[in-house]
Structure 1
Amino acid sequence: MHTAHPHHHLPLLLLLTLGRVVAADTQLKTLLVAIFVIVDALVLLILLWTIYVFCRRLKAKETGKENPPPGEVNEKGEGVRCEEEEEDAVVQEPGKITFAKDGGGFGLEELLKASAEGLGKGSFGSCYKAMVDDARMVVVKRLRGVGPVTKEEFLKHMRSLSAMEHPNLLPLLGYYYSSTEKLVISNYACNGNLFDRIHGKIADLSSKPYETGGGRRADRIPFSWSSRLQVAQGVAQAMEFLHLNMRSSVPHGNLKASNVLLDESDKPLVCDHGLVPLIPASLAVNRMVCYKSPEYQHNRSVSRKTDVWSYGCLLLELITGRVAATSTPGGVRGGELCHWVNRAVREEWTGEVFDAEFLVHKRATSGMIMLLKLALWCCEQSPEKRPEMEEVAREVERITAGETDAEDD
């Protein structure tokens, strides 16, 4: 049998060897590519996780809501006082009430557990009377419809309002912010609000809005002229203070009888001021007094003179004892007192506009006439024709002084 020479197979062996090397090299390259892909994927995941954690911490820092580690959250809800932080560095600890300088003494958990009594529903939330410290009465307003403001913006605005101190402004004790709950806490005014004081707390005022004394309860405490004049002066001074110390184009924006509270001596305390920046325009237009003014109805504009118009409407309600359309709660029909009183003056039956409850011998005094004229001046259709709030306060002061001198004589 013929045997092939080894040298004849050398080229074939070289080809086979080269093929194995190439195949091995291809597998090696595939393995290296796979390793690089896995490493790149891991690096990319680590990078994405780092960015995610950084963004969460940055967002938490901006909103003041960085979540503490488990076990470190104070669940007692103890109150903390506002210290002298920088103007732009308002901080509130999770689950805690921020107190003004005269507040404090109770925590959120204690407040939520306190026995509460509903006081009614206002334009922007319900109010509750609660007893804390076993004897102290406070009012908690649950704000509803607050606009898309951040926690920092809300706390800064509340801090600014709590700094407004005047004998005729209801002091702000504290406030609380969370994504689902916004609370404003103040002292309880034992004599209720001005609307109930004038018209009676449980009154059927829906049928005859202009009838003096219509619907008033028989056991209602009479509201004397001197007490009404005291209210007119106190509210004027509070409004003057707001106009001098607040930058807002409409410092109050929602002045009406139900937003004037009365303490144990019938001293007026103006409340619910300064909420215009927090309320969305779409909601405020339907619920705030300033948007019922003539200038808004005609030109869709409001200004500081709009507050003057609101004060004039309040004076007319004090003087006539009739329900104003700007002051009506739900289910009560009010009237356009400005038009009604102006017609009475033109037709010379002015004496009939005064509430008979405080008339002495069925006659109006000079102070009553002067206050009526001031009210009509404040209610001028054109804002340019209305006085400034400082001028209004001085005029009411002169009227009050004149009435006091007349009583002394």
Structure 2
Amino acid sequence: MHIPNLSSCLLLAVVLGTASCNAKEESAGGSSDLVAILVVANVIVLVVILFLLIIYYKKYTKLKRATKEHDMAPRDREHDSTILERKRSSPGGGGKGKLVFVGDGGEPEFNLDDLLRASAEGLGKGNFGSCYKAVMEIGQAVVVKRLLDLRPLSGEEFVRHVRAIAALNHPNLLPLLAYYHSKGEERLFLYRFATHGNLFNRLHGGRGTRERVLFRWSSRLAAARGVARALEHLHRHSRSEATAPHGNLKSSNVLLDENEEPLVCDYGLVPLAAPPVAAQRMVCYKTPEYQSRKSISKKSDVWSYGCLVFELLTGRIPAHSAPPGTNGVDLCGWVNRAVREEWTAEIFDPEIVVNRGANQSMLRLMQIAMKCCDKLPENRPEMAQVVAEVDKVGAAIDSEDEELAYSSPLTDDSYSLKTI
């Protein structure tokens, strides 16, 4: 609603009053009916002005109160903020819910009150809400993910989905530690804090500066192997062929632990996400089959994995998962063009091109990624096949036998780039 300016209201009153007086003077010799009409008009004008002034005052008071609360509210990046305390009075915050632990780590080391008192640091906003690093008074650090834009679910449906996610234990999956669900529909996921950040920052952070820590080929290959194993585990335990068990695989959703082992996160959220929101934000909806046929499947995850491998090989950011304000590249199209035009030497990130042996393993991994990114989902390999082939590339590195000859179940063609 537009709020009229107070001075405008007063000016309007003066103008109308003056006009009324002039009208009265001109009609001094007129009829009594005209005088009565003018009196009634003046009363109506004064009532309208009074009504507008009341609205103005209420809006001004409300705006002043909201501004004061905003100035006093803690910022996401401040360490003296808390996670849930500021949500009790927010819309949808509801009453105090229950913090439920679902991990296999034994007795919980903290409770809801500990979390309420924890200092929090904003880690950024993801596709389905903000993430915070919460540090308890006992020193334990966890990541709290606030879930927004979910599909309408009853409490029982939400808990059933959460239990299914928690049951997916694997060394390369970030385990769900606990969840929070209040009557006001406040929903949170809690995870262990991964000390080395995410794969996107490790791969792209600090490029061109002295602070850049080189990300060697062996570490990138280890990340590709770990992510493939995590995806294969998700696919093996998924009953539905008509959905993507992960659905949002990208480098920012791969965390690194203290040993730089990859931990895939944000899996299993497709059934929870509101469809219109998911179609705009999740990677599985950026696949060729969704663009042409509005369908997703397990093979959508395979396409996402191929794009992630291209990102590891090239050091370039994929357009479909580029952060806001960052220019990305259609890596699938770009790599296929490079292979057709035989300028493959420009594909690989200069940071990892060190010797002919490493280049051979990079070529092999690139061919696997190209099969994963086939435009037709039926032509893409299963994740079990992908794991087997990536493990072979890793085994060749581990044994320092880069000339190892082996056949590939991914294709009947040879590993020659000219056959792809």
Which among 375, 386, 391 is matched to residue 392 of structure 1? 386
- Report if aligned partners of 2:361, 2:402 keep a CA contact under 8 Å in 1: no
Identify the residue that residue 321 of structure 1 maps to in structure 2.
315
Quick one: distance in 1 between partners of 2:216 and 2:188? 35
Quick one: distance in 2 between partners of 1:124 and 1:361? 42
Q: Give 2:233's aligned amino acid.
A: F
Identify the residue that residue 292 of structure 1 maps to in structure 2.
286
Q: Does 2:96 correspond to 1:102?
A: no
Q: Does 2:204 correspond to 1:199?
A: yes
Q: Does 2:265 correspond to 1:263?
A: no
1:106 Cα offset (Å)? 1.3
Q: How does 1:347-362 map to 2 (within 5 A)?
A: 347-361=341-355
Quick one: distance in 2 between partners of 1:94 and 1:139? 20
Q: How does 1:33-182 map to 2 (within 5 A)?
A: 95-100=97-102, 101-102=104-105, 104-178=108-182, 179-182=184-187
Q: Which has the larger Rg?
A: 1
1:113 Cα offset (Å)? 1.5
Which among 183, 193, 214 is matched to residue 222 of structure 1? 214
Quick one: distance in 2 between partners of 1:319 and 1:129? 31
**TM-score (ref. length: structure 1):** 0.72
- Report if aligned partners of 1:123, 1:287 keep a CA contact under 8 Å in 2: yes
Partner of 2:400, secondary structure, is helix
Same amino acid, percent of matched pairs = 54
- Report if aligned partners of 1:251, 1:273 keep a CA contact under 8 Å in 2: yes
- Report if aligned partners of 1:356, 1:362 keep a CA contact under 8 Å in 2: no
Quick one: distance in 1 between partners of 2:307 and 2:98? 40
Q: Does 2:277 correspond to 1:277?
A: no
- Report if aligned partners of 1:313, 1:326 keep a CA contact under 8 Å in 2: no
1:285 Cα offset (Å)? 0.4
- Report if aligned partners of 2:286, 2:320 keep a CA contact under 8 Å in 1: yes
Quick one: distance in 2 between partners of 1:289 and 1:358? 27
Quick one: distance in 1 between partners of 2:331 and 2:369? 11
- Report if aligned partners of 2:118, 2:137 keep a CA contact under 8 Å in 1: no
1:92-118 deviation digits (Å, cap 9, x = unpaired): x96220101326221222112101111
Which among 330, 339, 343 is matched to residue 345 of structure 1? 339
Identify the residue that residue 238 of structure 1 maps to in structure 2.
230
Which 4+ runs in 1 deviate beyond 4 A?
A: 361-364
Q: Give 1:235's aligned amino acid.
A: V
Alpha-carbon spacing, 1:315–1:383, altered in 2? closer, same or farther (3 Å)? same
Identify the residue that residue 184 of structure 1 maps to in structure 2.
189
Quick one: distance in 1 between partners of 2:239 and 2:329? 32
1:68-121 deviation digits (Å, cap 9, x = unpaired): xxxxxxxxx9xxxxxxxxxxxxxxx96220101326221222112101111111
1:326 Cα offset (Å)? 2.3
Question: What is the aligned length?
Answer: 305
Partner of 1:160, secondary structure, is helix
1:407 Cα offset (Å)? 6.7
Output the aligned Cα RMSD: 1.9
Q: List alignment gaps of at least 5 residues for structure 2.
A: 1-83, 85-94, 404-420
Partner of 1:326, secondary structure, is helix
Q: Give 1:163's aligned amino acid.
A: A
Q: Give 2:185's aligned amino acid.
A: T
Partner of 2:172, secondary structure, is coil
- Report if aligned partners of 1:354, 1:364 keep a CA contact under 8 Å in 2: no
- Report if aligned partners of 1:106, 1:133 keep a CA contact under 8 Å in 2: no
Quick one: distance in 1 between partners of 2:401 and 2:171? 25
- Report if aligned partners of 2:313, 2:349 keep a CA contact under 8 Å in 1: yes
- Report if aligned partners of 1:166, 1:241 keep a CA contact under 8 Å in 2: yes
Q: Give 1:285's aligned amino acid.
A: A
1:362 Cα offset (Å)? 7.9
1:408 Cα offset (Å)? 9.6
Quick one: distance in 1 between partners of 2:181 and 2:236? 28
Alpha-carbon spacing, 1:150–1:216, altered in 2? closer, same or farther (3 Å)? farther
